[in-house]
């Protein structure tokens, strides 16, 4: 994928002023080697306490293990439909969401299991939703792609590519209308970054000074189409330029880097009450959805192997081992603990009752039932 990016940059004539706003790491480090080294080593420039590092590690492991079970549920027929796992992108959501303030609205697309777990939603309820159970977070009405939690200010869980971006700007509109200082965190992928409604939304966000961060999680594959085949300028953050929105590209494979950048950006948005566009480079280890069996259609085994070296969990584990925050045994214990926790959640969800037939009519309207019958 690195090659793809580099190639695209060369192909595209980028003006010097735009070049300046490229990858933050690129401006910080003098050489490609140093840049690569910085990528591989999380670093702890925020001087996070050991306990916090362990928390981030556990959060990422929880997502990875949960997603393994999600795919098991799909393969075994307990989950249906479309199901998209977050493997490889854990550093992005854990790093970013560790910086949000309670009450900050969060909205995302359909690859949404990770956000739900990080925000504190019960894995049993999330798995129950994936399995279409009555106690699922959306009462079995949404499924894998439509997780919601009013309690955690999590507004979904949306599955029309790009469709939720205007809504995200609307969440920020309410902040301004009421004179609050919440920041809205609007996640979407590189596929969505080509949708027209995103640009309508960016225009309004900037025009009206709305406190929203457009968080483009760029895993460089829009379903099965590589970045260089779907984006005229593969540095997609440059598109914010035309809307007078500050923008940058950051690395999403190091949870600590993401956190450091997120703290800075969110603080800036809260202070300025202006939108911001951040492109977070990441890698999707699995296919687009659970039914995507042939990744060779869009990338090579070598690419995957290279990316595996930048696995956000692995990077943090290496760092913690080097700095003595954890020893091998500690890491094994975490994985084992989490596997046991998630296996319990999986079993509990699988044993739960399905929704009652009469529930099919509930929640269409707030106060009336729709017409009944076939």
Shortest distance (Å) from residue 136 CB to another protein: 7
Count interface residues toward another protein (CB under 8 A): 48
Question: Should residue 214 be labelled a site residue for another protein when binding is judged by CB under 8 A?
Answer: no
Question: Should residue 222 be labelled a site residue for another protein when binding is judged by CB under 8 A?
Answer: no
Residues in the chain: 374
Shortest distance (Å) from residue 144 CB to another protein: 12
Rounded to the nearest 5 degrees, what angle is found at the Cα of 204, between the Cα atoms of 209 and 269?
A: 35
User: Stretches 39-47, 52-60, 141-149, 305-313: which one binds another protein (CB under 8 A)?
Assistant: 141-149
Shortest distance (Å) from residue 132 CB to another protein: 12
SS3 assignment, position 224: coil
The bridge status of strand 221-222 relative to strand 276-281 is unpaired
User: Stretches 9-17, 60-68, 203-211, 302-310: which one binds another protein (CB under 8 A)?
Assistant: 203-211
| Binding to another protein, residues 76-135 (CB under 8 A) | 105, 107
Cα–Cα nearest to 156, from 105, 99, 204: 105
DSSP state of 159: -
Question: Should residue 368 be labelled a site residue for another protein when binding is judged by CB under 8 A?
Answer: yes
Residue of the chain from 8, 109, 204, 231 that contacts another protein (CB under 8 A): 204
**Residue 127 to residue 58: CA distance in whole angstroms:** 18
SS3 assignment, position 27: helix
Shortest distance (Å) from residue 263 CB to another protein: 24
**Residue 189 to residue 199: CA distance in whole angstroms:** 14
Residue of the chain from 39, 141, 235, 295 that contacts another protein (CB under 8 A): 141
**Residue 57 to residue 165: CA distance in whole angstroms:** 30
Residue of the chain from 201, 218, 234, 282 that contacts another protein (CB under 8 A): 201
What are the start-end ranges of the E strands in the chain?
106-108, 154-157, 184-189, 212-218, 221-222, 225-226, 246-251, 276-281
Contact of 79 with 132, CB cutoff 8 Å: yes
Question: Should residue 31 be labelled a site residue for another protein when binding is judged by CB under 8 A?
Answer: no
- For another protein, the binding residues (CB under 8 A) are 105, 107, 136-142, 146, 148-150, 155-158, 160, 163-175, 177, 196-197, 200-201, 203-204, 207, 362-368, 370-371
């Amino acid at each position: 994928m690195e090659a793809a990016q580099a190639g695209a940059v060369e192909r595209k004539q980028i003006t010097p002023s735009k070049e300046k706003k490229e990858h933050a790491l690129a401006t910080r480090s003098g050489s490609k080697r140093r840049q690569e080294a910085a990528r591989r080593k999380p670093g702890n420039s925020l001087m996070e306490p050991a306990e916090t590092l362990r928390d981030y590690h556990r959060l990422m492991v929880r997502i990875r293990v949960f997603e393994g079970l999600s795919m098991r549920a799909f393969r075994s027929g307990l989950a249906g439909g479309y199901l998209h796992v977050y493997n490889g992108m854990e550093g992005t959501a854990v790093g970013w969401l560790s910086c949000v303030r309670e009450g900050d609205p969060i909205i995302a697309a359909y690859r949404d299991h990770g956000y739900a777990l990080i925000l504190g939603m019960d894995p049993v309820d999330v798995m129950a939703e994936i399995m279409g159970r009555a106690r699922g977070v959306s009462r079995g009405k949404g499924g894998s792609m439509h997780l919601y939690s009013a309690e955690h200010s999590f507004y979904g869980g949306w599955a029309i590519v790009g469709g939720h971006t205007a809504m995200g700007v609307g969440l920020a509109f309410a902040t301004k209308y009421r004179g609050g200082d919440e920041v809205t965190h609007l996640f979407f992928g590189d596929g969505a970054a080509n949708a027209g409604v995103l640009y309508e939304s960016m225009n309004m966000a900037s025009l009206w000074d709305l406190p929203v961060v457009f968080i483009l999680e760029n895993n460089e594959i829009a379903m099965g189409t590589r970045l260089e085949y779907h984006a005229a300028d593969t540095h997609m953050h440059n598109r914010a330029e035309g809307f007078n929105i500050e923008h940058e590209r950051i690395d999403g494979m190091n949870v600590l880097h993401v956190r450091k950048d997120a703290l800075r950006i969110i603080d800036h948005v809260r202070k300025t009450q202006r939108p911001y566009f951040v492109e977070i480079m990441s890698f999707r280890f699995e296919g687009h959805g659970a039914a995507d069996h042939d990744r060779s259609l869009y990338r090579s085994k070598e690419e995957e192997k290279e990316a595996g070296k930048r696995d956000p969990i692995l990077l943090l584990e290496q760092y913690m081992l080097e700095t003595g925050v954890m020893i091998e045994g500690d890491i094994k214990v975490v994985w084992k603990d989490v596997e046991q926790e998630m296996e319990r959640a999986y079993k509990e969800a699988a044993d739960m009752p399905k929704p009652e037939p009469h529930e099919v009519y509930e929640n269409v309207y707030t106060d009336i039932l729709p017409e009944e019958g076939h």
